[in-house]
Structure 1
């Protein structure tokens, strides 16, 4: 067999989306199959770098620098035996087994890559989720959704500008307030509120002395449901609510938002809440273009419906994982919740199943293992519960131990992507860098 025919015979695996699950998957596949010439693996993503999404609220607050934590897809592909293609998937031809990718332009509109197609034998869709604004007027124009590092950086820039404006324009007799409204009190909203409380006080301590944090900074956390953290246990929610209250954060549960304007937030009860900065963190869904993609089954959130094997219900050559997949929770009613730990487990499972599929072996169902939930409230406290065989049930945790468990979730992701030694060296390097920088990003 000549080299061109041999190349054609190699199994082609295309992964769409380089989030937590997608990047871990192509890294595993590249290490096990790509480097050994057993498969041709391609990652397609419209961004050039990966950032762990649960940390976006820290970029927004200025607590961490995205450039230090981001992973270059191009470098990662070179190191781990897969290919990276820039672009956004916009269509799918299941008959030809081709993914359709939109053209890419730079920020000035100059073309980078034309539209192209990528053939596959196995396709994995891991495009994550986006904010669901439920059609609320003004959200797209006046609120920021923390979906990408760019969104988080834009919010932080506006935050710094708002504080500088209040410092310059305010006087002792007429102080200017900085009002932040966070709509949605899930994990993202709660963690952002707590992180902003610390970061904004640190920010104004760098010479913005006309701002009195206790008097001039207001953070409002708004939740339509009866309590914050609706997806987590009531004990975790109550502990978080008590701490937020002690920090002076205005928590409004059972409050529905009917509109967002340039001046603030309109509530269903008729009240108008002034706010210079509005974050929309209420609800998630898969991208709109995924609805009924190429005849694949989707649900009301545009998620691809999958079997327990994580194969889509209408095409066994297409898998889906992460937030864009409606994966059944075996042994319980409903689907697996959209969590980073679920994507981490699914990536490992799909990697092994693709190999079984190549060998003609039957695929095994994926069983979600819930290790509990943790919520970081910045430097103030971490609360949550741990579950599973490791601790023999359900264990309430808080304080330093809970904080260590929270950090370990990110370290598990880093190890899956970079390995143990690179993770250790990167952690040490970031610690040294932070020791000589301001405690919060000032620009």
Structure 2
């Protein structure tokens, strides 16, 4: 607790879905009072719901219409936004260390500094794990941030423009896309790209023949795509991808990524000048044993059921960056959006109890099922607990409606019900005046 008469300093590091929802709700609750202050530390300027990144990469979604400005959100919901990147932790002084931030021209924006806390909540999410594969960092684009998703889309449109304007025919592999990792992100991207690449070509790029020149390959090391989801979802998704002409290579490991393609473990080469790496996740490297906290092999901070770190009760971790035990399961809580949302909600109650001097309660994860969006083609998934604890397989329009409702729940947590409704209506109206795919 803070010193007598002072506000309890709550510092949240990371403005992803969990961190931003938590900062917003705590700001609404405590920001204008005298009990606690809330600070969100984030190195980005804007927030975009991470499950939307594949749509930004494919060009089916304009990120500008869905991004949220942290400064504005902080002003509206009574918390402090601190622009910076956490680089260290001094638990003895109860301070986090922030590195200096510079602009694209190298000019300093904010200096290196320290931010004090009474309660620290680490919610920095996860990053792509390329497992040290040669060439992956140089030639493959991960989909961790909106900037990376936009970068891939620009490369895709530029590749189409280049192929259409060059004097020679389209080279083998020139318009081929290899997606490494058939989890939710990679699988959803493959389906979206099948439609959006053809939509780009339809805007006057008549020298490109999609059936001849465009190829999308989805590579997965596990025996089937979507290995973390029920087999029925995997099978239904694979069948649809096959109907679209997406080539699925399951049970295949990548040994190298090159500028002109991907080399498999058996030596086979898949030509592709556009490569996306979406296989595997880990917590950011800076978390590795930061401040003496316990971390696991993928840099996740190990926490107790209360979400407190094992070595410091004043430091919590939630979301993908936390390794949280799961009652009745040998594996920890999975790094999924619904887990992060549930942990953010649980932290609200934990803060309330802590400020009131009550004991903290353990977090209990509830699996509500899985949904995979295949763009405008279909959505498949399963809902848990609807049939007396059993799962129910869903697909088609109802599944798509459920998938969209997840995003609306996130928006409602950030803005409230009425503003979310008006934003939805405005988005539907603006779509009528825009191309069906982003062309730049």
- TM-score tier, shorter chain, comes to over 0.9
Distance in 2, Cα, partners of 1:328 & 1:280: 28
Aligned partner (choices 411, 416, 428) of residue 425 of structure 2: 428
Higher mean C-alpha deviation, range 164-173 or range 144-153: 164-173
Contact 2:386 / 2:392 at 8 angstroms: preserved in 1? no
Q: Secondary structure at the match of 1:334?
A: coil
Distance in 2, Cα, partners of 1:281 & 1:240: 17
C-alpha distance after superposition, 1:201-243 (max 9, x if no partner): 1110000111111111000000111110010011100110011
Contact 2:41 / 2:81 at 8 angstroms: preserved in 1? yes
Distance in 2, Cα, partners of 1:174 & 1:304: 47
**Structure 1 length as normaliser, TM-score?**
0.97
Distance in 2, Cα, partners of 1:190 & 1:416: 27
1:297 paired residue number: 294
Pairing 1:296-375 to 2, within 5 Å after superposition: 296-375=293-372
Q: Secondary structure at the match of 1:9?
A: coil
C-alpha distance after superposition, 1:349-398 (max 9, x if no partner): 00110111111100011101110000001111100100025775211000
Contact 2:174 / 2:272 at 8 angstroms: preserved in 1? no
Q: Does 1:77 align with 2:100?
A: no
2:245 paired residue number: 248
1:28 paired residue number: 25
Q: Per the alignment, do residues 51 and 8 of structure 1 end up closer, same or farther by CA in structure 2, a change over 3 Å counting? A: farther
* Cα displacement (A) at 1:154: 0.3
Distance in 1, Cα, partners of 2:343 & 2:143: 24
* Cα displacement (A) at 1:36: 2.2
C-alpha distance after superposition, 1:130-176 (max 9, x if no partner): 00010101111111000000000000000000111111126679888
C-alpha distance after superposition, 1:73-117 (max 9, x if no partner): 000000001000001000000000000000000111111000010
Pairing 1:403-422 to 2, within 5 Å after superposition: 403-422=400-419
Aligned partner (choices 115, 140, 145) of residue 137 of structure 2: 140
Contact 2:170 / 2:208 at 8 angstroms: preserved in 1? no
2:153 paired residue number: 156
Q: Secondary structure at the match of 2:9?
A: strand
Q: Secondary structure at the match of 1:227?
A: coil
1:218 paired residue number: 215
Q: Secondary structure at the match of 1:319?
A: strand
Pairing 1:155-194 to 2, within 5 Å after superposition: 155-169=152-166, 177-194=174-191
CA RMSD in angstroms comes to 1.6
Contact 1:166 / 1:176 at 8 angstroms: preserved in 2? no
Aligned partner (choices 376, 381, 390) of residue 379 of structure 1: 376
Q: Secondary structure at the match of 1:236?
A: helix
Distance in 2, Cα, partners of 1:301 & 1:46: 22
* Cα displacement (A) at 1:38: 2.0
* Cα displacement (A) at 1:285: 0.1
Distance in 1, Cα, partners of 2:389 & 2:137: 45
Distance in 1, Cα, partners of 2:6 & 2:171: 74
* Cα displacement (A) at 1:261: 1.1
Flag structure 2 segments of 5+ consecutive residues without an equivalent.
none
